[in-house]
Amino acid sequence: MVMTFEEFEISNNLKKAVKEMGFEAPSPIQEKVIPELLKEQDVIGQAQTGTGKTAAFGIPLINGINSKQKHVQALVLTPTRELAIQVAGEFQKLSKFNKVQTLPVYGGQSIGHQIKTMKRGVQIVVGTPGRVLDHISRGTLQLDRISHLVLDEADEMLDMGFIEDIEKILKNANEDRQTMLFSATMPPAIRKLSNKYMRTPKQVTIDKGEVAAPSIEQVYYKVLEKNKLDSLCRIIDSETLDLGIIFCRTKKGVAELTEALQARGYMADGLHGDLTQSQRDVVMKKFRKSTVEFLVATDVAARGIDVQNVTHVVNYDIPQDPESYVHRIGRTGRAGREGIAITLVTPREMKHLRSIEREIKNPIQSKSVPSIEEVVEKQQETWKHQVVQLIEDHESDDSLYGNITADLLSDYSADKVVTALMKLAFYSHSDEKVETAGYDFGETGAQQGMTRFFINVGRNVDMTPKKLVEDVAKLVGIDAGRIGKIDIFENFTFMEVPEESAPFVYEGLKYARVGGAKINLEPAKPRPKRK
Ligand code: ADP
Ligand code: MG
């Protein structure tokens, strides 16, 4: 049984918005939490990051807002400004078809601007505890008429020392309200907070037990968001593949990727929840008969499909949780056949990959996206193999080509003829692929084959080479030994990394902390030449 958003008792406008966001089915936490919240029940939700907690509280919350009333009816507290902006953004998408106004408030943005917007009438405020308190003490935010209050990432807020602020806010809020608390973990202080301020909360936990990954080959490739498609093409071109299922997160993703693959000449078809049963049957039939090599699908669409000879499962978008990872990769390697599970990981998803590895208790091996040369070499091998096979099973229609073969061979050497045929076979292939260079960092003053970066922190944040190497190796998934020269100064640092990992390091460090500090990194300038 697959649950859909249609089954929730929420407004049609919300259903429409969810559909437009490309969500096909509720995630496990959404499936459990939304019905409880719709009953006005207080809820504690515990689930890993990336499991869709925002919409889990956002959907019932927005459903409960009276859009005709212009006062603040809901408050969402988040630990950071980034998260406040992100949650408010998701709320704005969810309320695309109803007139519910959401405003993010956080430190670092002019308070005057926030006050002005607030006066125009917002129903939902999403903010960091400090700035929210600020508004309360100025009298620009009243919580005496709110009906919903959310503590998002409660454990993070605890870690950041916001507990007192949160208590002050809770004491200021209307007692007759629904309180929701979301957290990845449940430390005692959070437990205490919930006992004090929530009314017989219902606890919902997405248990992460019983996730045992099947024993098939699992690898991940580090890719950059902007050339994910090219990377995918190279990867699948370099694999010996019969049938592959490629997973995307949303229906929209499925449609776009299917189209892009078809445009590049792959035999691909998409499967998603909007297809009628008969359209679905047509696609599945083609897939079973191997007239399409790739089935692009969402998790939901792929449920219940049973195809025996799937050689590859590709996670074009990383799965949301370990269960889904296990589910997806279980579609290959059935009935004793060998299968390969490939996951594409962007820099900001590395942490998520690590958490999947932890849950399935199985390290996933890292591989680099093959270069064009490797792909061509691989394709030539396949071609050679096919030629040899054709030669060896003597077909009776060989005589059809007798004349032209004799003609060509009488005028040219066998060498020349074969090379020309090869060119014919590969020309179209290698030419149509757009080569997108990832990044060009220019001359950075690094040793041969390396790229040197400038990092804007040094000893002032207690940076040590050991810390830096450990963090970077973990983040980028490379062997610590491959990181090159490191020079740490008082306020900055230089670090050399292998050229091929440089774009990944560059993008990855933008979303990470090194030794606990938020950092900025730039390609280094070449050292001035000594005279
Ligand atoms: P969490 O708060 O649990 O870390 P988020 O709410 O930030 O997770 O969701 C992670 C991502 O998953 C977001 O990009 C969100 O839009 C997407 N998402 C949430 N629910 C669904 C769903 N039911 N189907 C597809 N994508 C979803
Ligand atoms: Mg969240």
Does residue 344 share a domain with residue 236?
yes
Atom 22 of ligand 1, nearest CA residue: 23
Which is the closest atom of ligand 1 to the Cα of 86? 7
pLDDT value at 211 more than 70: no
Identify the domain boundary among 157, 181, 205. Answer: 205
Highest-scoring range by mean pLDDT, 36-45, 103-112, 321-330: 36-45
Atom of ligand 1 nearest to the CA of 22: 25
Within 8 A by CB and 6+ apart from 481, the residues are none
What contacts 405, CB < 8 A, 6 or more positions away?
Answer: none
Closest C-alpha residue for ligand 1 atom 24: 23
Asked whether residue 210 is domain-assigned, the answer is no
Distance 447 CA to ligand 1 centre (A): 42
Q: Is the pLDDT of residue 210 over 50?
A: no
**pTM (global) more than 0.75:** no
Residues 496/486, Cβ–Cβ less than 8 Å: yes
Q: What is the mean pLDDT of residues 103-116?
A: 92
pLDDT (0 to 100) of residue 1: 46
Within a domain: 97: yes
Q: Does the CB atom of residue 28 touch ligand 1 within 6 A?
A: no
**Residue 437: what pLDDT?**
47
Which of 184, 205, 226 marks a domain boundary? 205
Nearest CA to ligand 1 atom 12: 52
Percent of the chain with pLDDT over 70: 90
Pairing between β-strand 493-498 and β-strand 202-205 as defined by DSSP bridges: unpaired
Domain-located, residue 212:
no
198 plus 76 within the same structural domain: yes
CA 55 to chain centre: 16
In a shared domain, residues 152 and 91 = yes
Q: Looking at the predicted structure, is the pLDDT value of residue 287 above 90?
A: no
Across 262-266, 453-457, 473-477, least confident range:
473-477
Instruction: Mark whether 342 and 261 lie in a shared domain.
Output: yes
158, 177, 205 - which closes a domain = 205
Overall number of domains in the chain: 4
Lowest-pLDDT range of 262-266, 335-339, 434-438: 434-438
Query: Which atom of ligand 1 is least distant from the CA of 24?
Result: 24
Indicate whether 345 and 393 sit together in one domain: no
Pocket test for ligand 1, best of 5, 7, 19, 27 (most atoms within 8 A of CB): 27
Q: Is the pLDDT of residue 8 over 90?
A: yes
Same domain, 321 and 461: no
**Is 249 near ligand 1, meaning CB less than 6 Å away?**
yes
Q: Does ligand 1 come within 6 angstroms of the Cβ of 419?
A: no
SS3 assignment, position 46: strand
> Which residue, judged by its Cα, is nearest atom 20 of ligand 1?
52
Decide whether any atom of ligand 1 lies within 6 Å of the 23 Cβ: yes
- Nearest protein Cα to ligand 1, atom 23: 26
Q: Is residue 137 part of a domain?
A: yes
CATH value at residue 49: 3.40.50.300
The whole-number pLDDT of residue 242 equals: 84
d(CA 223, CA 476): 11
Label residue 354 by pLDDT band (50, 70, 90).
confident
Q: Which ligand is nearest to the CA of 91?
A: 1
Instruction: Reply yes or no on whether the pLDDT at 431 is more than 50.
Output: no
Q: Is residue 287 domain-shared with residue 189, that is, in the same domain?
A: no
Same domain? For 95 and 170 the reply is yes
Do 134 and 234 lie in a common domain? Answer: no
Is position 441 within any domain?
no
pLDDT, the chain, mean: 86
In a domain, 530, yes or no: no
Question: Which pLDDT score, from 0 to 100, does residue 284 have?
Answer: 87
Our answer on whether the CB atom of 109 is closer than 6 Å to any ligand 1 atom is no
Instruction: Render pLDDT for 60-79 as a digit per residue (tens, 0 to 9).
Output: 999 999 999 999 999 999 99
Please, what is the angle between helix 402-411 and helix 414-432, to 10°?
Answer: 110
Q: Is residue 442 a part of any domain in this protein?
A: no
Q: Is residue 174 part of a domain?
A: yes
Return the best residue to mutate from 46, 51, 150, 324 for the ligand 1 pocket (most ligand atoms within 8 A of CB).
51
Instruction: Note whether 316 and 378 are same-domain residues.
Output: no
Structural domain range at position 499? 450-523
The pLDDT of residue 427: 53
pLDDT band at 387 (very low <50, low <70, confident <90, very high): confident
Same domain for 36 and 181, yes or no, is yes
Which pLDDT value is given to residue 214? 58
CB of 206 closer than 6 angstroms to any ligand 1 atom: no
- Of the pLDDT bands very low, low, confident and very high (cuts 50, 70, 90), residue 516 is low
Is the domain of 12 the same as that of 56?
yes
pLDDT, tens digit, 9 for 90 and up, residues 172-190? 999 999 999 998 778 899 9
Q: Measured between alpha carbons, how far is 282 from 497 in angstroms, rounded to an integer? A: 49
Lowest mean pLDDT among 54-68, 228-242, 409-423, 432-446: 432-446
Residue 461, pLDDT above cutoff 50: yes
Q: Between 523 and 332, where is the model more confident?
A: 523
Domain at 492, CATH number: 3.30.70.330
Tell me, using a 6 A CB cutoff, whether residue 183 lines ligand 1.
no
